[in-house]
Amino acid sequence: MIDDAILNFSPGSLTLLNGILAVVMFSIAIDLLPRDFRALAKGPKPLLVGLASQFLVLPVLTFLLVLVVQPPASVALGLMLVAACPGGNISNFITHRAGGNAALSVSMTAFATVGAILLTPLNIAFWGSLYDPSAAILRATSIDPVRIAITVGLMLVLPLVLGVTLNARRPDLTRKLRRPLQWLSMAIFIAFIVVALAANWAQFLAYAGGIAGLVVLHNALALGGGYATATLARLSPFDRRAVTIETGIQNSGLGLVLIFGFFGGLGGMAVVAAFWGIWHAISGLVLAGLMARTEAPR
């Protein structure tokens, strides 16, 4: 049973993953300046629509998917946890490739990361408790929202603040660091996921086949939900591309940290988050290639 499977992940590996994600977040943050946040305060609609798509629409769609499919408890909770995470670290790069509003994408990542301190543990606890099988896991695990908030804060928000501060004070340095650091951090992150999966390859293969279709469907719902939300809110095609991609690219690395840090590496959850980390990059790049064929009106 996948609910009984446990993936092995040493405390040292978890610490390394925390560090990698902090570097990834820092590489995103050095693209931002305080004035970017002030500009959004004057015209916040696209940002608010994007955050609503990510933290409200996606969790609702995920819960409906779980109700229809009725997956095993750990798989259901894995889907809900991924949906509760902020936008992924490659969403900004993919939005740029798609010809969308990259500045909006970066700002959404930043604001969602800060909001995740409160909203990620709340969404996990709320939606997970509404599905009886996953509610049993939550009761047995008794996750501490404060500990999750501290984890998110140290791993994502602190690098965000440091990156914005450095970019404001030493733009000459951040210009040199930006591109190499983004590529390096992504390469290290992907390599780490590959190594982590290799250590649990037999278990991953045993369960990935049954979960792959569900993750693909979930990701399609996320992208479709982002597109529909932005369209109903009458955002420009330029902004709509950013909201679509930001909703469909989730921070599965953060999901893995929470799974191994708070759920003991529960098999279904870990396989869902790991497969998400692989698939959303593929689907996002394919979608970006299709979108880039036409220029988005602003």
Q: For 145-172, write each residue's pLDDT tens digit.
A: 777 777 777 777 888 888 888 888 888 8
% of the chain residues with pLDDT over 90: 31
Using alpha carbons, select from 223, 211, 210, 286 the residue that is nearest to residue 250: 223
Place of tokens 């469909």: 248
CA–CA separation, 94 vs 279, rounded Å?
14
Helices 102-129 and 132-141: crossing angle, nearest 10°? 90
Characterize 203-227 residue by residue with b for buried, 16 or more Cβ atoms within 10 angstroms of its Cβ, and e for exposed: bbeebbeebeebbbebbebbbebbb
Report the Cα–Cα distance between both ends of the chain, in Å, rounded: 50
Are 81 and 262 contacting, i.e. CB atoms less than 8 angstroms apart?
no
Sign, Cα dihedral of 63, 229, 247, 217 = positive
Residue 247 · residue 53 · CB < 8 Å: yes
Which run of H or E residues covers position 45? Answer: helix 45-52
Q: Are 82 and 268 in contact (CB under 8 A)?
A: no
Q: Give me the pLDDT at residue 222, please.
A: 97
Ranges of residues in the chain with a pLDDT under 70 are 1-14, 36-37, 39-40, 89, 142-144, 189, 192-193, 195-208, 265
pLDDT of residue 8: 59
Supply the DSSP symbol for 4. Answer: G
- From the number of C-beta atoms within 10 Å of its C-beta (0-12, 13-18, 19+), residue 12 rates as exposed
Cα 49–Cα 51–Cα 55 angle in degrees, nearest 5: 125
The pLDDT assigned to 10 comes to: 60
What are the structure tokens assigned to 191, written together?
Answer: 């390599």
2-291 — its CATH code?
Answer: 1.20.1530.20
Integer Cα distance of 207 and 63 in angstroms:
21
Distance (Å, whole) CA 223 – CA 241: 10
Using alpha carbons, select from 47, 96, 84 the residue that is nearest to residue 241. 96
DSSP string, 50-113: HHHIIIIIHHHHHHHHHHHH---HHHHHHHHHHHHS-B-TTHHHHHHHHTS-HHHHHHHHHHHH
C-alpha span between 280 and 40 (Å, rounded): 27
| Sign of the Cα pseudo-torsion (174, 51, 211, 258, in order) | positive
pLDDT at 191: 73
Residue 263's contacts (CB-CB under 8 Å, 6 or more residues apart) are: 77, 137, 141, 143, 269
Q: What is the pLDDT of residue 110?
A: 81
Q: What pLDDT, in 10s, does the model give residues 223-236?
A: 999 999 999 999 99
Q: What is the three-class DSSP state of 61?
A: helix
Residue 62 and residue 124 in contact, taking contact as beta carbons nearer than 8 Å:
no
- pLDDT (0 to 100) of residue 175: 84
Within the chain, strands assigned E span none
Question: Helix, strand or coil for residue 182?
Answer: helix
